[in-house]
Amino acid sequence: MLQGNAIIGQSGGPTSVINASLAGIIEAARDPRAGAPAAIGRTLGMRFGIEGFLQGNVIDLGAEDPATIAALRATPSSALGSCRHKLQEADFPKILEMLRKFNIRYCFLIGGNDTMDTIHRVERYCRAQGYDLIGVGVPKTVDNDLCGTDHTPGFGSAGRYVALSVKQAGMLARDMKRVDQFVVFQTVGRSAGWLPSAAALAKVAEDDAPHIILLPERAFDQDRFLADVERCHDRYGWCSIVCGEGVCYADGTPISASRMTDKFSNVEFGAMGGTSAAMMLHRMIHAAFGWRGEFQVCESLQMCAADRACSGDVEEAHACGRRAVELAVAGTSGVMVGIVRDSSEPYRWSLGAAPLAEVALGAKPMPDNFINAQGNFVTPECIAYLKPLIGPLPNYVRLAGAVVN
Amino acid sequence: MLQGNAIIGQSGGPTSVINASLAGIIEAARDPRAGAPAAIGRTLGMRFGIEGFLQGNVIDLGAEDPATIAALRATPSSALGSCRHKLQEADFPKILEMLRKFNIRYCFLIGGNDTMDTIHRVERYCRAQGYDLIGVGVPKTVDNDLCGTDHTPGFGSAGRYVALSVKQAGMLARDMKRVDQFVVFQTVGRSAGWLPSAAALAKVAEDDAPHIILLPERAFDQDRFLADVERCHDRYGWCSIVCGEGVCYADGTPISASRMTDKFSNVEFGAMGGTSAAMMLHRMIHAAFGWRGEFQVCESLQMCAADRACSGDVEEAHACGRRAVELAVAGTSGVMVGIVRDSSEPYRWSLGAAPLAEVALGAKPMPDNFINAQGNFVTPECIAYLKPLIGPLPNYVRLAGAVVN
């Protein structure tokens, strides 16, 4: 059994439950039942991910109050600090130097694609240099676009934030349709449509929001979109639209880059200039029909709303952290913990492991059978997949409204 | 005792608890203890406010399942439908015709300033025409800018949405400061700064969000603002800014109207073109410092997030509805129910009543002693006022972070 210290890092954008995974790793590393104390000496933390580690920014997680560690389960954001550092060749000798300096033999990184690629490359480099290091990844991303797992911890809670928001704002739009005629809600997620799809769970009755879901997996066609909006407006008197931030035209241009008029400069008006897909859709609808409406851009709020976290998501995130330690002390390296769906109804899950090399390959888009033929909503198969992850939404009532003449 | 039917209407933008007031009115109108059944025959509802009523759009609330009425307490948005109709002279005879047609002697409107003005004018017109009508208003607005009440039902819950959002997004920004350096959160509320102020409750430690609060009560000065942002960034490595949507330059121009460059047309880029104060602040900061950051525009989401409603707010909204009926059947007309704060610590409240004529006069801005001398944050007096309305926020933890060398 390899003996030495362990280090934990968090990377990329956070989720509401990323600290539950952190707590799971720390607790398992202290837990004799997991067999960890025989292998793992000190449990250290990287401040600001691999970027901080390269600068020797390391803290002692063993010195933390156990009550703090337990409270991490309900604390959003990345308690260790995060980064988005893409490893350069020159980083590897420096990383090895730090691993040696702190006698680290176990490395746990909680993150998405890029993070899994980081562990994979560090582990491979160390092996080539004759330094024994066990590296295990713990999945995390609200985007749900990681291969090697049925879904990612963090997605369910963010999806719940989206579904709740669209449901509540849809009721408001319905009741205010004499004033405003449409509402556009934008989700994060550049390349995959999992988060906008989660909004579909808000719909119970046919006229409930959302009416239209725009996914990055399908090219945006302005004429078709406006025809869809008009049809919903004719039918309901208002229209609810949900769009992924990364929705693009057929030529690959994001809709968040203005194409409305040449009076606007794309350079200033791109991502750095602060614009959004929802704002562009709002402008299109207003220009076409003259209606009043609003756009909602919550950005990272959907990644950190711990008060809206799904209890199942918290539990899975914590279990993934624990399992990473169990795998590592059993000598397994180069894998990411994955969640296996054993059954959707009733929902049952277990844990597996996927080779990092496979996980790091690329983002997982939504499968074709989850998107309807018109490309403007999701299918019942998609809803069946999402339902246990998002959990039940509140049962709001509607008046019967018996007309008096 | 005046005998006849009662009608209830909801008006203006909704809140998370506006239906709790509706439930309070309906339940009190059925409650023998309130003495109402002797006075009130049928309880009717206006669909889409006074605008729907003018068209004879009336429903029978007495026919609703009591379980539905009870569930209204937790159902956001305006269950009756709402409007923003400003009464015209020509409307009054039509309204009287409808009142006669449905034998309405009791009129309850739940709303803000304009709504109180509506009841006031309708009641006065009826009196002049010799038609006995008792009109009582129930306060409602997330903006908290109504005179005649310590605070408005709906404000606490919206303020909680704001405080939770700013707290969670602030933790995220702190942990992601190696990637993004600032976050701008925009609240609704055109003329009063109550909602942006509510964000101050998110701050526990000195470096916690928010760092800067921009209020419509103070003129915006770009140079001073950018100096504040830079100072926060120097101190913390990131900056959290909260702004009310209606913040204006000294000359009265809203900051949401672009003044950055003449390449942008103010006409298209105004409210109808879909822009926002937060986006403009984002652009300013990026232009001045080159930092990455994000802006968050939740719009009406903060008016309808019933899952984040404060239980005290729900209770007060419901009690205001009940009291309106009690006042009306006791013969009181031309008033709005108001909440009286008997004590802040511990928080104790009771109900009062204010003449509609006074309430309808105008919006209530924040008092000067609630805003700091620099005009970029609120004072301890303001926080003491807000605290019992917003309620305690979650206790998120922070790692002690003992450095290992």
Query: Which run of H or of E encompasses B226?
Result: helix B222-236
Q: Which of B31, B117, B132, B143 is catalytic?
A: B143
Instruction: List the single residue in A48, A168, A268 with the smallest CB-CB distance to B178.
Output: A48
Indicate whether B312 pLDDT > 50: yes
B:120-149 residues touching chain A, CB 8 A cutoff: none
Cα–Cα distance, A405 to B291 (Å, whole number): 61
Using the Cβ of B55 and the Cβ atoms of chain A, whether some distance falls under 8 Å is answered with: no
Cα–Cα distance, B18 to B8 (Å, whole number): 12
Indicate whether B165 pLDDT > 80: yes
DSSP B293: E
B158 class by beta-carbon count within 10 Å (0-12 exposed, 13-18 middle, 19+ buried): buried
Cα–Cα distance, B308 to A57 (Å, whole number): 38
Cα–Cα distance, A193 to A61 (Å, whole number): 36
Higher pLDDT, B149 or A266: B149
Using alpha carbons only, what angle is made at residue B293 by residues B209 and B250, rounded to the nearest 5 degrees? Answer: 75
Using the Cβ of A51 and the Cβ atoms of chain B, whether some distance falls under 8 Å is answered with: yes
Residue B300 structure tokens: 């009406």
Residue A384 structure tokens: 């069946």
Active-site residue A143, yes or no? yes
> Which of A18, A25, A77 to probe the B interface (max B CBs under 10 A)?
A77
Query: Which run of H or of E encompasses A184?
Result: strand A182-187
ipTM, two decimals, is 0.95
Q: What pLDDT digit, counting tens, does each position of B88-123 carry?
A: 999 999 999 999 999 999 999 999 989 999 999 999
Give domain A155-305+367-390's CATH superfamily. Answer: Phosphofructokinase domain (3.40.50.460)
> Which of A115, A162, A176, A185 to probe the B interface (max B CBs under 10 A)?
A176
What pLDDT shows up at residue A282? 94
Instruction: Kindly list the domain boundaries of chain A, sorted by start residue.
Output: 4-141+149-154+309-359, 155-305+367-390
> Which of A304, A307, A390, A405 to probe the B interface (max B CBs under 10 A)?
A304
Q: What pLDDT digit, counting tens, does each position of A367-389 carry?
A: 999 999 999 999 999 999 999 99
- Fold of the CATH domain B4-141+309-359: Rossmann fold (3.40.50)
Q: Are B193 and B366 in contact, with CB atoms under 8 Å apart?
A: yes
Number of H helices, E strands in chain B: 13, 11
Cα–Cα distance, B49 to B45 (Å, whole number): 9
Q: What pLDDT digit, counting tens, does each position of B254-287 carry?
A: 998 864 433 333 333 333 445 789 999 999 999 9
Cα–Cα distance, A251 to A259 (Å, whole number): 12
Lay out the sheet containing B293-297: strands in order across.
A212-214, A239-244, A182-187, A293-297, B293-297, B182-187, B239-244, B212-214
Instruction: Tell me the CA end-to-end span of chain B in Å, nearest whole number.
Output: 83
pLDDT > 70 in chain B, percent: 96
What pLDDT shows up at residue B160? 98
Q: Are B188 and B143 in contact, with CB atoms under 8 Å apart?
A: yes
Mean pLDDT of B235-245: 97
Q: Which region among A64-68, B325-329, B363-367 has the lowest average model confidence (pLDDT)?
A: B363-367
What pLDDT shows up at residue A257? 82
Are B4-141+309-359 and B155-305+367-390 the same fold in CATH?
yes
Mean pLDDT of B144-157: 97
What pLDDT shows up at residue B258? 60
Cα–Cα distance, A391 to B282 (Å, whole number): 35
What pLDDT shows up at residue B257? 82
Nearest chain B residue to A56 by CA: give it: B405
CATH code, residues A4-141+149-154+309-359: 3.40.50.450
**Nearest C-alpha neighbor of B382 from the set B393, B371, B397:** B371
pLDDT lower than 70: segments of chain A: 258-274
Q: Which residues of A touch B268 (CB under 8 A)?
A: 261, 263
Using the Cβ of B182 and the Cβ atoms of chain A, whether some distance falls under 8 Å is answered with: no
Using the Cβ of B401 and the Cβ atoms of chain A, whether some distance falls under 8 Å is answered with: yes
Q: What pLDDT digit, counting tens, does each position of B183-195 carry?
A: 999 999 989 999 9
- Arithmetic mean of pLDDT over chain B: 94
What pLDDT shows up at residue A273? 46
Residue B248 structure tokens: 């204006």
Instruction: List the single residue in A75, A168, A397 with the smallest CB-CB distance to B397.
Output: A75
Cα–Cα distance, B363 to B381 (Å, whole number): 20
Q: How far B65 CA lies from chain A's nearest CA (Å)?
A: 8
What pLDDT shows up at residue B35? 83
Look at B171 and A84 and tell me if their CB atoms are within 8 Å: no
What pLDDT shows up at residue B21? 98
**Nearest C-alpha neighbor of A73 from the set A11, A8, A26, A6:** A26
What pLDDT shows up at residue A258? 60
